[in-house]
Amino acid sequence: MFLSRLSCTPSDALTPFDRAGLAVSGLLADGRQLVNRARDEAASYKEFYGEPIPGRVLAERLAGFVHAYTM
């Protein structure tokens, strides 16, 4: 069986920053895009509030991003 590195396996996990992990399935490029967005959101939150982003807030922001680009 040939597995392309363009696709993720269910065990692939990426780290947007030191306090979070993100598991993805599907195309690896899509997962990397979400990780980059998560890093941007975390940096923006830390710059504005001066503390690390809570997981719930990061999840809500990423969900809004995915929702906006799948409609």
**Per-residue model confidence (pLDDT) at position 37:** 92
Beta strands in the chain (DSSP E): 7-8, 13-17, 20-23, 26-27
**Per-residue model confidence (pLDDT) at position 46:** 93
- Give yes or no for a contact between 32 and 42, defined as CB atoms under 8 angstroms apart: no
- In the predicted model, residues of the chain with pLDDT beneath 50 are 1-3, 10
DSSP 11: T
**Per-residue model confidence (pLDDT) at position 9:** 53
